[in-house]
Structure 1
């Protein structure tokens, strides 16, 4: 399914649809810099009921947020260079926790993931396109 996003209201609507229709709690988000990966995670967290300030985990690699039913883990794996680094941050413990996991730049982790949803985000002429699998 593909969504066209031209406003924050559209993004909020997309996040609501995704959370309502998700079968799994693990999500990968792929796309170029500035495509809206972190913005989508902000709205997904808000839709889950989180009051935390969701921001990019670029330097921390993983951020933890809370929502009424548990925790949200938000990863940015852009700076992870190899599989060993992924293991050293405790990646499997996060993924196996049963909590929501949103993974930006997931390429290095895909082979280690159980069933999950995939997003591809593209930005073209001020319009974002989100493909949800």
Structure 2
């Protein structure tokens, strides 16, 4: 399902989240890129709901990392790398261990930590266009 998706309503976030969860269930690294206010956190909330997370999902901008539990008991790490100044700060915060844990990681603003990423990731890029969001999905490989 690589390609462009148009989202016009909050309900469509949930539909797209369900499709992506089914299509990419084997992918553990999900990367979310796009400008502030483009819908990254809103989409992650829909994804978590579809994955059975019962907790209230909030942006980890100040905490850097929020941990949740899926319906199957597996942990989910939601990272927001916007405030990170560089790789050294990411390593000091333990982000290197989280992204290599093999657990489901949802990472907003991933570019700053790209050197820490490994394996295959799903990159989801958001763009705010007038009354809707444009969402581009692509698989990326990090070595």
TM-score normalised by structure 1 residue count = 0.96
Could you give the per-residue CA deviations for residues 45-65 of structure 1, whole angstroms, max 9, x where no partner exists?
A: 111111110011111111111
Consecutive unaligned residues in structure 2, runs of 5 or more = 139-143
Match for residue 126 of structure 1 among 117, 131, 140: 131
Note the C-alpha offset of 1:82.
1.2
Could you give the per-residue CA deviations for residues 64-85 of structure 1, whole angstroms, max 9, x where no partner exists?
A: 1111221111111010001100
Runs (4+) of structure 1 exceeding 6 A deviation are none
Matches of 2:11 and 2:131, distance apart in 1? 15
User: In structure 2, the residue corresponding to 1:108 is in which secondary structure?
Assistant: helix
User: In structure 2, the residue corresponding to 1:41 is in which secondary structure?
Assistant: helix
Note the C-alpha offset of 1:111.
2.2
Note the C-alpha offset of 1:9.
1.2
1:50-129 equivalent positions in 2, closer than 5 A: 50-69=53-72, 70-114=74-118, 115-129=120-134
Matches of 1:4 and 1:122, distance apart in 2? 10
* Paired residues, number: 133
Note the C-alpha offset of 1:98.
2.1
Matches of 1:123 and 1:96, distance apart in 2? 31
User: In structure 2, the residue corresponding to 1:98 is in which secondary structure?
Assistant: coil
Which residue matches 1:13? 15
Q: RMSD value over aligned CA atoms?
A: 1.0
Greater shift, 50-59 or 93-102, is seen at 93-102
